[in-house]
Amino acid sequence: MNAEIYNYVDANLTKMIGTLSELVAIPSVKGKAVPGKPYGEECAKVLDKMLGIASSFGFRTENHKNRVGTIDFYPDGEPSLGILCHLDVVPAGDGWKTPPFSMFMSGGKLYGRGTMDDKGPAVCVLYAMKAIKDCGIKLSKNVRFIVGTDEENGSSDLAWYKKQAKLPPNVFTPDGSYPVINIEKGMIRGEISAKCAVGGTKSVISATGGTVINAVPESASATVVGFSDIELTLAAKNAGIGQLVTFKKDGDKTVITVKGKSAHASTPAEGINAVTGLCSMLGRLYGDDESTVMFRSLSALFPFGETDGKSLKIAASDEKSGALTEVLSILSYSKGTLTGKFDIRFPLCRSVERVKTGLEKAFAAKNMELSDFSGVEPHETSADSEFVKTLSKVYEDVTGARSGCIAIGGGTYVHDIEGGVAFGAEFPGEDCKIHSAGEFISAERMKQNAKIFAEAIIRLCK
Ligand SMILES: [Zn+2]
């Protein structure tokens, strides 16, 4: 490891923090497209700022139509390594104790929207390149730092850039976590729908639950008519949601509310699904129209407490990527019309088509329909490649921590990039409140990241 680089990074921490604070001050949330600025004014502004700083450091920069910027270590030469970060951020949201777009330092932590995702890591990459340059270390291969501005809204920036330019054969993105994420499960989002005859005196009138498709829903509610307290209490108990449910009487109607626990759709077993809990209970009621029958059918496909797709007959798992997971995340039902949105993450041993066929079959058997569907295949970069082995070793050497490859259920910025992996910048076991109030990166981790990236560049491009 290079002592000169280490000293340089340590000595330049204040400058790194200054640069990060300049970037955080630009609220680069996707905005309305204006001519020449497809993601709005602020995203164009943050890109311009970053490229200006990189150019002042002596790197060759290029702005690709305000979608993507490139920063090359050498003015010419095809790059053999690409590093990918994004400068757009998600909206601030509520709950901040400090101003989200004015970086605040306290107790060694830098608070602000984008500090960890992904402006902080981007600053670390830039200073890693600067450290190598200023320390006079010669690389025999070029490095291209690629900064995008639409990661948080579907990565259309990269999809566009891939059509304009060839990506380097090896790409890592510090937009995930350490050590090396080389496998990302496939992802499916879809909708189940059904209709039934209603109008009975004992019936489900309406039901709703969940707000976003990629999370375990933490609350759900329904209004039913004609059921006695005993029927309702017993149904809740048999559904296993006795502790989670509350009832509110309103004449012969009852409003049922179920409180669960939220979790990311890629790790649904960590949550308690309020929607499937509610459906399980409604399916245990016996009405005099078809509404309760329909919830019985839905619950048979998505039972409360199940997250592996067993009842949908799509369960699968393999050693490298783990098990398939599914979440019924959004429910909407009114006057005999039901729709449910779901999120599925599937392992390497399955394909979008195979899971889709399984779903169609399972839904049809319950007289339900797959009414909307989109899917992305899994991503894998070989753990045995020199590239991945080098990154893994760099992390181990710089941090002294155990390294290796990991598979995740979520998708990162390199999901559609062949030979791409996520490498940092969050450390295992740390929660830097990405996408939440109080997002931060610690000054210590800034230094460590810059050292890791510099070391990775040197070893991969020497
Ligand atoms: Zn990100």
Compute the distance between CA of residue 425 and CA of residue 445 in angstroms, rounded to an integer.
9
* Average of per-residue pLDDT values in the chain: 96
Q: Residue 341's closest CA among 367, 372, 364, 301?
A: 372
Give pLDDT tens digits for 326-370.
999 999 999 999 999 999 999 999 999 999 999 999 999 999 999
Cα 53 to middle of ligand 1, angstroms: 21
Cα 240 to middle of ligand 1, angstroms: 37
| Cβ neighbours, 10 Å, residue 44 | 22
Question: Which amino acid type is present at position 200?
Answer: G
The domain made up of 3-185+380-461 has a fold known as Aminopeptidase (3.40.630)
How many angstroms separate the Cα of 268 from the Cα of each of 13, 217, 410?
A: 39, 10, 12
Domain-wise residue ranges, the chain: 3-185+380-461, 195-376
Cα 225 to middle of ligand 1, angstroms: 46
Cα 156 to middle of ligand 1, angstroms: 14
| Residues labelled as active-site residues | 88, 151
Cα 106 to middle of ligand 1, angstroms: 23
Q: Dmax of the chain from CA atoms?
A: 82
Cα 30 to middle of ligand 1, angstroms: 13
pLDDT at 2: 84
Cα 91 to middle of ligand 1, angstroms: 13
Strand pairing of 219-225 and 203-209? antiparallel
CATH of domain 195-376: 3.30.70.360
Give pLDDT tens digits for 222-266.
999 999 999 999 999 999 999 999 999 999 999 999 999 999 999
For 404-413, what is the mean pLDDT?
91
Binned at pLDDT 50, 70 and 90, residue 116 comes out as very high
